[in-house]
Every structure is written in structure tokens, then in C-alpha cells.
Amino acid sequence: MKLKRQKSNKKLLHLYQQIFSFREPFQVIVDADIISTAVAQKLELWKALERTLQGQVKPMITQCAMQVLYVGKNKQQIELGKEFERRRCNHFEDPKSPFDCISEITKYRYNRNRYIVCTNNVSLRSELRNIPGVPLVYIKRGVMILEPASPATLNRRKELEEEKLGVDEEERRLYEGGEPESKISNKKKRAKGANPLSVRKKMRVDDRSTLRTEGMSVGDGNGHESKNRRRKKHSKLNGTENSNPHDYIEMGRTD
């Protein structure tokens, strides 16, 4: 059971490292409540965090949480709190509840500081599950548990992976000597615009109208011209201002 948990924790941490750029030492925000729990259950908090997160950790405590410990006047709890780096939450003059304090610093730019939050406060964990990429840790019956990734975290991972896949596909095309998707679609559009059939048809209509003005009859009215008439047309046009290369090629053939 323990091995199974270690494996799933490893997988989870890999996700946070790969998708959300978490790095060791992991910064863990602990609240006052978890410190009192650790003291009561004689749990070595720092070591338990390292075991659970399978790497180096940097436990941190906010000014507000430290204030709660000072008010509680439990020496052991205060000593434990002082072992951890103080996180300046800037609520010093107007201390906030652990819920408000920790959710504020974690929500800051979608957990830009890559905090892992260690709290037994159920409503705080529930609140923080709404932010993608916030690992949550709590203690249950003396055992430290890393929560499974929240739906918000999994959705964000899906989005990022899809974005990445799009880029990779583009890179693959370039690497294989192909052209990027955007160029291909442009090419398709160009080809559509320059359909040789439609161009030829247009030319015939133009030619016909030119010939009509010169008093000549053309074809059978269905776009079919006799070879004879075409020759006439070309000999007439030969050496004139007509500079369409297509016409010169045809003239060469018929003359």
C-alpha cells in the first residue's frame, strides 16, 4: 500500500514538474493548524514533507500563521514554526485568517511562486482546487497525503498538451523538409484561384469578342472552334501587341 502511494505521488509530482514547472526545493506553505497537528501527533513535519514529495523541500510559514501560533502560546508549536522560512504576506498590520492569507498568496497570478500548500483546512483545500497547478498536502491519522490532481489542474494540463502538440506537428513538417501548415493552405487557395481550365475558357471568350469586332465568326457557339478558324486567329494575332505567353505556345504548334 505504501509503495503504491509512493508511485502515485511520484507520478503526480512529475506532472507538476513537467506541466507547471515545479522545482526542488519545493516551497511548501504550512498553516498554523498543520503545525499543531504535527506537534500533537509527534510527526516530524519537515521529514514527512520530504518523504511525501520525494525531494528537497523548503517549508514556509506566513506572517499571519506565525501570529496565530504566538497567540496560542504553545512553545513547541512556536519553535516548530520558527524553523521555517517566514513568508512575507504583507498582512502584518492587519492579520488575515489562514484561509484568506494562504488563498491570497497562492492565487497570486495562478500560483506563480509554485507553492505546495500543506493544510488540514478542508474549505481552504476546496478553494485552492479551483486554481490549476496547486499541489495540496494534508495529514490524516498520522499519515501525510498528497491529494490527486484537481479537475482544474487536469484541464490545464490537457490545454497545454494540446498547444504543445500543435507546435510539434508544425516543427515536424519543417524538419522533414515540408512546408508549414499555414503555407500549404495558402498554396491551396492560390491553386484554386488559378485554375487553368477557367483561365483558358476566359481567354477564349476574350478572343472571340476580339474576333467578332474584326468581323469574323468563331466556333459553333458552344465553345468549340475549328482548327481552321483557330489558325486564322493566330495568324492574325501573330506579331501583334498580344503578349500572352500561352498564345505564343499555341501559335508555334499550329503554324
Chain residues binding Zn ion by CB under 5 A are 62, 64, 89, 91, 96, 101
Which set of grid coordinates corresponds to residue 61? 510559514
Residue with Cβ nearer Zn ion (104 or 170): 104
Q: Please state the closest distance from residue 62 (CB atom) to Zn ion, in A.
A: 4
DSSP for residue 121: -
Find the DSSP H helices in 214-244: 227-237
Minimum distance of Zn ion from residue 154's CB (angstroms): 29
Three-state secondary structure string covering 138-190: EEECCEEEECCCCHHHHHHHHHHHHHHHHHHHHHHHHHCCCCCHHHHHHHHHH
Task: Give me the least distance between CB of 92 and Zn ion, in Å please.
Answer: 8
Least distance to Zn ion from the beta carbon of 140, Å? 26
Q: Which is nearer to Zn ion, 91 or 129 (CB)?
A: 91
Distance separating alpha carbons of residues 59 and 7, to the nearest angstrom = 23
When the beta carbons of 37 and 62 are compared against Zn ion, the nearer one is 62
Residue 187 C-beta-side C-alpha neighbours within 13 Å: 7
DSSP letter, residue 54: T
What's phi and psi for 26, nearest 5 deg?
-70, 130
Strand order in the sheet with 136-140: 85-87, 57-62, 26-30, 115-118, 136-140, 143-146
How far apart are CB 66 and Zn ion at their closest, in Å? 9
Given the complex with Zn ion, which of 46 and 99 has the nearer CB atom? 99
Closer of 77 and 103 to Zn ion (Cβ):
103
State the Cα–Cα distance between residues 187 and 253, nearest whole angstrom.
Answer: 31
Main-chain phi, psi angles of 127, to 5 degrees: -65, -45
Residue nearer to Zn ion on the CB measure, 97 or 126: 97
CB of 93 to Zn ion, least distance (A): 11
